[in-house]
Chains A and B, each alone.
Chain A
Amino acid sequence: MKRTRAQFVTILAAVLVPALTHAGKGEEILQSQCSSCHALSKPEDTSLDRLLNRKGPDLYYAGVKFNKEWLVRWLQAPTRIRPAGVMYRKVVKAGPAGSADVVDESLLPSHMKLSAEDAAAAAEALAALGADSPLVTKGAFKGGAPNVMMASLLFNKLRGCSSCHAAKPGEPPHSGPELYTAGDRLKPDFVAEYIRDPQKFDPHIWMPKLELNDGDIQKLTGYLMTLKQEGGK
């Protein structure tokens, strides 16, 4: 009797434990290795000071922001997304007289790398973070192929997005994240919602809420989704 119960417990444990650790592994990685720099739940403090002092971008709505496949790849081989860091002002200094400010590269550390296994687990956990966040409405991007010529004109000239964002690699550093991997990295509904109202995500973020109509937002989102570096198409 005693023996059977012990056996049963062992079997139960053998079945349950791997399942638990598998689901929990990514979360465990996030908590132990990432939470010192990234907010994994919505911060109570929404002040400008919090934003100025945070060490990394917020990840509490990662589930509605990132493509999971991109996360798995990037976490193993991170590239720079924000050429002037998470808060540009702390990293830029005056350039030679009469020319643009420059980035002090020594102030930009490289991002930590994860093994393939850990990256997959962390990406899984990130994909679940805020997956039902009210910040992003399903269908915000209505789809459809953009007129790339017209949309890039909007991006580069008419709406002034290119002041702060690079649409192709190799440009001098800007204050905002690069967008030449936007199509690999970001979900279209997030992009549409962010362009419409950046302050919905961070009440004090230094991307302005621009005067854009829904047509602009759809065209710009469609255009950004065509910007990819990985695996082409």
Chain B
Amino acid sequence: MKTLACSLTVLLGALGASVSMAADEPSPQAVKLYDTYCVQCHGVNRDGNGINSATMAVKPRDHTDSKAMGDTPDDLLFKAIKSGGLSVSKSVLMPTWGGVLTDDEIRLLVQYLRFVSKTQSTTNQ
């Protein structure tokens, strides 16, 4: 029973990941990753008000800001997460996550950010 439930979750997770956006439900795996690694700065409400933000010189990005997030293409979001703020000419206070997260996990997070900001996937032209 447990195994069945497990494989269903995995199956659903895989399906969720292949639907590129406009998902009504975020991937539970992405939520878990965001809650573990990102909430400390970007906040419980994903609006840049994490517990750490109180003393930070640069405010973490508000991921619910549709305007700013909509203007940032997927590959830039990916790069910012993997290689840190400096790699996209932003603050060093956005850390490099490439040593902890796999590329697949980062892609899942980029997709999740589209959900949180209610924006569409965009690519650099």
Contacts and interface: CB of A to CB of B under 8 A. Distances in A.
Interface in A192-206: 197, 199, 204-206
A197 B92 CA distance: 18
Contacts of A199: 99-100
B64 interface: no
Main secondary structure of the interface of B (DSSP, over half): loop
Contact of B51 (A102, A197, A204): A102
Contacts of B32: 48
Given A99-B49, A209-B100, A162 B55 contact: yes
Main secondary structure of the interface of A (DSSP, over half): loop
Q: Which of A52, A84, A93, A101 has the most CB of B within 10 A?
A: A101
A95 B49 CA distance: 8
Q: Which of A158, A163, A171, A174 has the most CB of B within 10 A?
A: A163
A204 B51 CA distance: 20
B97 interface: yes
Interface residues of B, number: 28
B36 A48 contact: yes
| Interface bin, chain A | 35 or more
Given A100-B53, A101-B51, A211-B84, A160 B93 contact: yes
Interface of A: 48, 52, 84, 88-89, 92-95, 98-103, 157-160, 162-164, 171-175, 197, 199, 204-206, 208-211
Interface of B: 32, 35-37, 39-41, 43-45, 49-57, 84, 92-93, 95-100
5 contacts: A48-B32, A98-B49, A100-B52, A174-B52, A204-B100
